[in-house]
Amino acid sequence: MPEDRESAGRERREKLKRFLTDWQAVTGLVLVVLFFASAIFAPWIAPYDPNAMDIPARMSGPTWVHIAGTDQLGRDTFSRILHGGRVALYIAAIGVSASLAIGLVLGMIAGYGPRWLDNLLLLAFDAVRSLPAVILALATVALTGPSLTVVLAIVILTTIPSYGRVARTATLALRHTEFILAERSLGASTSRILFQHVMPNVIGPLLILAAMEVPVVVSIEAGLSFLGIGVLPPQASWGTILNEGYLVIRDAPWMVIAGGIPLILTTLGFTFLGEALRDIFDPRMGRGR
Amino acid sequence: MTIYLFKRFGLAAVVVMAVLLLLFSMLHMIPGNPAILALGTRATPEAIAEYSARMHLDEPVLKQFVYFLGSAVQGDLGEDVFSNRPVTAIIAERMGFSLALICTGMGWAVLLGVPLGCLAAVRPGSWLDRITGVFSVGTIAVPSFLVSIWALLLFSIQLRWLPAIGAGEPGNFADQLSHLVLPAFAIGLGWVGYLARMVRASMLEVMGEPYIRSARAFGLKPRRIVLGYALRVAILPTITLIGMGFGGLISSAVFAEIIFARPGIGKMIFDAVSDRNFPIVQGGVLVATGFYILVVLISDLLIAWLDPRVRSSL
Amino acid sequence: MKDLANNTLLNIEGLTLDFLTNRGRVKALRDIAFPVRKGRILGIVGESGSGKSTVLWSILGLLAGNAQVTAGRVDYGDKNLLTLNAEGLRALRGEEISVVFQDPMTSQIPVLPYAQQMSDILYRRSMSEADKRKAAVDMLRRVGIPDPESRVDAYPHEFSGGMRQRAGIAMSMLTGPNLLLADEPTTALDVTMEAQMIDLMRGLRDDFETTIVVVSHNLGLIAEMCDDVVVMYAGEVVETGEVHDIFHNARHPYTRALLECDPARITDVSRKLPVIPGDIPDLTASLSGCIFASRCQKALPACSTTAPPLVERGTGIARCHLLEGPLADPSWPPPAEVSTVMRDTGKTLEASVKDAKPLLEVRDLNVQFRTMGAMKSRLRGVERPFVDAVLDVSLDIRPSETLALVGESGSGKTTLGRTILNLQDAAGGSVRFEGNDIRNMSERRFKPLRRDLAMMFQDPVGSLSPRKSVRALITEPLLIHGAEGRNLDFEAERLADMVRLPRGFLSRYPHELSGGQARRVGVARALALNPRLIVADEPTAGLDVSVQGEILNLMADLQEEHGLSYLIITHNLPVVRHIADRIAIMYLGRIVEEGPAAEVFARPAHPYTRALVEGVPQPDPDRRRQNTGTIKGEVPSLLRRPKGCDFATRCPLARDACREAKPEHRQIAPDHRHACLFPLRYADQQIT
């Protein structure tokens, strides 16, 4: 038994070593930690109140006082970016976990359940996917008016199909494997088979997908807020900062630059991390080095 | 094969139906008078009464859906609240701008991304592969609307190389083209990287298949193996990917049209949302969705045509 | 051997190769040396992990990316293939040296028709496209593809497995190569196809004067086909020689043990089969002495420290201390009758169960699979949109009895097993267990019966849930059926002991187990609830010859201890002969013959049974069949089930009456029945 522990431990250490020697993985991890830390601790890190107006200093370029400049109301862009990260984190955390959970369950049901249910769920996934996120958001907002809740609902609804499809494909592949048949031959119940034996084999790729979906979700929020149909001013979000910057793009170009950088860093961080995890845990899908 | 076509078209029709149902129920789930929603708050009581009668708003919901479906199938998507022009006419006017943008955007992405991915896969670890890798991650990481904004800032405002606003003078091809360059660049950029990456991954997977080893064991030329064998198989998942990718591309195009003030369908919907001009929103959403479903359908048929395994299983 | 030098087509000298893996450097091949003589068929034989295929790939320079050749040379003419540049290798590949691959399903590109694939191979020839096509058609005809003029335009997936392998052979022979390398060419095929392939390859060697190197784990194929043999173990050549010397005068203890383990060579029928205990050594560790020492029955202390001498004999070499030097043993090798491997000859239960009431009775069972959807079948006007996977099957299993269900792939044997266990719905008939009909029972009502009816699945590792520890896996049946008041840790250890699995393995995961160990876990899971009947699907699949005995012996012991009944589903006839009381032969979903094992082997009544029995290549070059092609063609698709006797399309004895109607089952002895209008024994009796 000590031998086994050792071999399992060696494998884990091996994976950790591979992770830590991959510059993309480490960069990704650092950026993701930065994203979480800056969003959580924004009120303590931010040099100014994100909504405090300083009219004399309005439209100031980057200086030592305002490192990312100020907007037309004299609010500090850097502080607004930090607080905007909280919106992004909120949407990402709730949106990704909700659609992951719903997609996982629906996908497993589609993959393991009867044929008609599979067809119905696939049709539902296809129908939802046929509505491009922004178009759906515009249509909804036309009826309900802009709000963060609408953004969250759109994010969850439009990303469920990608989890659902991955979970369904994986479940379908498992459905006829001998080990699932073996479980049935022992008399295991369907819920036991799904949650004890199918889920552990499906969840891995889904978690990696979730890491890759975080940037998508954050971009949707920023995009919708940019269009003015998400977070409403004066609340700071990366999208509203870009929106305000877009309006004064000729006179204060630093706002659209500063507003875009956190978006890129977050995307880059989660993409790197997701890919590194995928390479380590699922070498078949990997970059094939 | 005919049965497959039948089935596939049937499926597309069902998806369109499902989308219509979704749109319809959205309109009816929202509290408030649908007539006011449809006509806008400035509508007169007479107009509302007239609209309610015309849209059968006093009849059962299911019946209303049938009417809605019937007129949608006949190409009647209602009228613009302000100008009272048919929605279809307005869409027809704007469609061209969106189509040109989307096709140009995807076109240059495919023309650049696929060969890039292919070359990178042939020599993994080479400088070209590394540059492609960094380029892919770099471009995928930037959301397309941000590319649009930054491209506008850099090429139009700072460098003044290309026009910023509009779609160019009607009839002036060169001017229209110059207005197309930036938005098409912006929505395609991420796709170059994405496609390069996907083609590379797909090629590498295929290159590891036993039948590629067979081809090598028979001494075929590397060029023939890559282009005639590996790419022939690896392109299949890429086609599906491109088809599905049009959904994201439509979203990007909406942003690009708004940012560059290009009078396409996306801009039309956006403006209509601010005006609460619901017939226009509804028509625009329907057209965008229908276009996407059509593209996916075409890509599926293309696969069925290119892959003998799919062909014979039909 | 020296005088053969100018007769040598290919010479491998000191080939040493490592694989760089994340477990470390695997010393996969060490000092491999043997010549390949012109115009002969050389067989490389070994179990899994012996490196036999790696040798083949290193000849062609098509090794995996993590392989590293550290020493040696492979001389072909005046060229060393290991140092030849890419262009030089490419010029040889396909033209002078060609390959037949193991799995024709994955080794042929699915999106190109054979005409294209074959004309691609001829790209170096200055021939017109029409001539290339003609060459392809001619070669397809030569390998026995019917109607090659139109079939040349087919895609691989449109061919059956056997046809694909024929096409694969046609592709490799298209250029008339000097040297043909064949990597397990029949492993993916059924017994009746295997015989045809051996015949085909021998014929091609004679026609084209091609030298063939064939890699296989199948001793029968090697004995039947080869002139020279190389025996490999754990990355080393342990013995070489002409085929007769290897099979009748083996000098290395491993060769000897391997031969003695082959059930086809064991004449006396007993439940117990011989085994080579132990596992292949870890090739990442540092190696010294004789590589086989850890498993050798004759090993001396010095064997594991001192490298064995290389001993020459007339037709080859052997590496063993027993043959030469200070440790030489003049009594080695012992005469053929003397057993050199472990064999438990303990008393086996002579089941006198003939009169007992059957435990399981299957009557006229039918299973159908849908072939198309309801809409499609209506549109096409298909009346029966399904195929009969199992057709009117009846059989009995009595307590403590072993019934073997034998058939080729597609015979419906696995489906029948799953239907008995209610894992698959039946379309008609009955399944009675202890007198109660259990067919198509709802899972809720069936659940208590799962205690009595257990199943072992084909893939030893793949039938274990991959994220569960062995401990969780073997106690799971208890949890499912209520484990109140049981100490699960204790139960886990009890079960592990029962299947002779070291307790330390309880904390391992399936992928960390060898095939034999995983199989033991499967047996433990099947046994956990004290079942009455175990349905075992290919219990020896994926196991090496030297290991399969351990599992079969274990199953026999457990039968004796617990009075178990077995339904063993298999295609492996030599094994069946040793373990089964009765045999049922299946063909296209029907049972064509059923009877006592010894009787069916000795006097088969159905021509298909005879074809199966004779189809197994004998691991003895003296018993080579002159004409292996007793039956032609392949099992037809279920979609094209013949109208009359299912076997009539391939039967050498078929008459017109056979094509009219399905023959009824007839009883020829109280316990022996068949479904043939003109049974073999009937004919014999008339003549005598």
Torsional sign, CA A31, A36, A37, A39 = positive
Span B201-212, average pLDDT: 90
C40 has a pLDDT exceeding 80:
yes
HSE-up (13 A, CA, CB side) for residue A282: 15
Is C90 touching B (CB cutoff 8 A)?
A: yes
What local confidence, expressed as pLDDT, does residue C362 receive? Answer: 94
Interface of C with B in 91-110 (CB under 8 A): 91-95, 98-99, 101, 103, 106-110
Sheet holding C360-370, edge to edge: C386-397, C360-370, C428-433, C436-437
What is the full DSSP assignment across A148-179? HHHHHHHHHHHHHHHHHHHHHHHHHHHHTSHH
Give the tens place of pLDDT for each residue, B271-311: 888 777 777 888 888 888 888 888 988 988 888 888 888 77
Task: Please check whether residue A240 is in contact with residue A225, taking contact to mean a CB–CB distance below 8 angstroms.
Answer: yes
What local confidence, expressed as pLDDT, does residue C683 receive? Answer: 47
Q: Name the residue among C220, C276, C236, C285 with its Cα closest to residue C51.
A: C236
Q: Between the CA of residue B188 and those of A192, A256, B102, B245, what are the distances in Å?
A: 46, 20, 9, 11
What local confidence, expressed as pLDDT, does residue A289 receive? Answer: 29
Q: Which residues contact B205 (CB under 8 A, 6 or more apart)?
A: A288, B234
Q: Which residues of A touch C477 (CB under 8 A)?
A: 186-187
C106 has a pLDDT exceeding 80:
yes
Give the tens place of pLDDT for each residue, A7-61: 556 667 777 777 777 788 888 899 889 888 888 887 887 777 777 777 776 677 7
What local confidence, expressed as pLDDT, does residue B31 receive? Answer: 58
What local confidence, expressed as pLDDT, does residue B27 receive? Answer: 67
Q: Which residues of B touch A81 (CB under 8 A)?
A: none
Interface of B with A in 146-205 (CB under 8 A): 146, 149-150, 152-153, 157-158, 201, 204-205
Residue entry with tokens 């590319």: B147
- Per the CB < 8 Å rule, is C463 touching A178? yes
Give the tens place of pLDDT for each residue, A144-158: 778 888 889 989 998
Residue entry with tokens 């009502």: C445
What is the full DSSP assignment across C216-262? ES-HHHHHHH-SEEEEEETTEEEEEEEHHHHHHS--SHHHHHHHHH-
User: What number of C-beta contacts closer than 8 Å exist between A and C?
Assistant: 70
Q: What is the mean pLDDT of chain C?
A: 87
Give the tens place of pLDDT for each residue, C607-623: 999 888 888 888 888 88
What span, in angstroms and rounded, lies between the C-alpha atoms of C389 and C411?
8
Q: Between the CA of residue C487 and those of A82, C494, C506, C654, what are the distances in Å?
A: 56, 11, 15, 62
Side chain identity, residue C401: E
Domain spans in chain B, listed from the N-terminal domain onward: 2-73, 92-313
What local confidence, expressed as pLDDT, does residue A171 receive? Answer: 92
> What is the percentage of chain C residues whose pLDDT exceeds 70?
95
What local confidence, expressed as pLDDT, does residue B36 receive? Answer: 66
pTM of this structure? 0.83
C578 has a pLDDT exceeding 80:
yes
Strands (DSSP E) contained in C606-671 are 666-669
Domain B92-313 has CATH 1.10.3720.10: yes
- Per the CB < 8 Å rule, is C91 touching B216? no
Span B147-158, average pLDDT: 80
Q: Which residue has the higher pLDDT, C175 or B73?
A: C175
B244 has a pLDDT exceeding 70:
yes
Q: With bands split at pLDDT 50, 70 and 90, how would you rate the model's confidence at A4? A: very low
Nearest to B214 among C91, C107, C380 (CB): C107
Nearest to A4 among C22, C462, C507 (CB): C507
Side chain identity, residue A25: A
- Per the CB < 8 Å rule, is B142 touching A139? no
Span C157-171, average pLDDT: 90
Q: With bands split at pLDDT 50, 70 and 90, how would you rate the model's confidence at C354? A: low
Q: Which residues on neighbouring strands pair with residue C436, listed in sequence order?
A: C433
Span B119-141, average pLDDT: 85
What local confidence, expressed as pLDDT, does residue C65 receive? Answer: 82
What span, in angstroms and rounded, lies between the C-alpha atoms of C101 and C96?
16
Q: Which residues contact C283 (CB under 8 A, 6 or more apart)?
A: C26, C27, C28, C49, C234, C235
Give the tens place of pLDDT for each residue, C175-196: 999 999 999 998 878 887 888 8
Task: Please check whether residue C540 is in contact with residue C551, taking contact to mean a CB–CB distance below 8 angstroms.
Answer: yes
Q: How many CB atoms lie within 10 A of CB C432?
A: 16
> What is the percentage of chain C residues whose pLDDT exceeds 90?
42
Nearest to B145 among A135, A140, A223 (CB): A223
The shortest C-alpha distance from B240 to chain C (Å) reads 17
The shortest C-alpha distance from A103 to chain C (Å) reads 22
Q: Which residues of A touch C476 (CB under 8 A)?
A: 183, 186, 188
- Per the CB < 8 Å rule, is B233 touching C94? no
Q: Between the CA of residue A174 and those of A199, C285, C334, C525, C538, what are the distances in Å?
A: 10, 36, 51, 20, 21
Helix, strand, or coil (residue C406): strand
Alpha-carbon B285 to chain mean position: 12
Q: Between the CA of residue B56 and those of B35, B53, B60, B276, what are the distances in Å?
A: 11, 5, 8, 21
Considering only alpha carbons, which residue of chain C is nearest residue B232?
Answer: C111
Neighbouring chains to B with at least 3 Cβ pairs closer than 8 Å: A, C
What local confidence, expressed as pLDDT, does residue C36 receive? Answer: 94
Give the tens place of pLDDT for each residue, C418-453: 999 999 999 989 999 988 898 888 888 999 999 999
The torsion angles phi and psi of C218, rounded to 5 degrees, stand at -95, 105
Is B255 touching A (CB cutoff 8 A)?
A: yes
Q: Between the CA of residue B267 and those of A139, B97, B166, B274, B285, what are the distances in Å?
A: 13, 10, 11, 11, 12
Span C76-95, average pLDDT: 91
Helix, strand, or coil (residue C392): strand
B29 has a pLDDT exceeding 70:
no
Kindly give the pairing relationship between strand C211-216 and strand C41-45. parallel
List the structure tokens of C459: 């893939």
Task: Please check whether residue B168 is in contact with residue B96, taking contact to mean a CB–CB distance below 8 angstroms.
Answer: no
Helix, strand, or coil (residue B55): coil
Is C121 touching B (CB cutoff 8 A)?
A: yes
A134 has a pLDDT exceeding 60:
yes
Span C133-152, average pLDDT: 91
- Per the CB < 8 Å rule, is B233 touching C109? yes
Q: What is the mean pLDDT of chain A?
A: 82
What local confidence, expressed as pLDDT, does residue A21 receive? Answer: 79
The fold for domain A2-285 equals MetI-like fold (1.10.3720)
What local confidence, expressed as pLDDT, does residue C2 receive? Answer: 43
Q: Which residue has the higher pLDDT, B155 or C249?
A: C249
- Cβ-in-10-Å burial (0-12, 13-18, 19+) of C33 comes to middle
Considering only alpha carbons, which residue of chain C is nearest residue A13?
Answer: C22
Give the tens place of pLDDT for each residue, A183-237: 999 989 999 999 999 999 888 888 888 888 888 888 888 888 888 888 877 788 8
- Per the CB < 8 Å rule, is A134 touching B254? yes
Task: Please check whether residue A129 is in contact with residue A159, taking contact to mean a CB–CB distance below 8 angstroms.
Answer: no
Question: Which of B168-182, C55-69, C305-319, C454-468 is the least confident region?
Answer: B168-182
Helix boundaries (H) for C9-160: 52-60, 86-92, 114-121, 129-142, 148-151
User: What number of C-beta contacts closer than 8 Å exist between A and B?
Assistant: 142
Span C528-536, average pLDDT: 92
A118 has a pLDDT exceeding 70:
yes
In degrees to the nearest 10, what's the CA dihedral of B233, B239, B244, B247? 150
C271 has a pLDDT exceeding 80:
no
What local confidence, expressed as pLDDT, does residue B277 receive? Answer: 77
Task: Please check whether residue A142 is in contact with residue B281, taking contact to mean a CB–CB distance below 8 angstroms.
Answer: yes
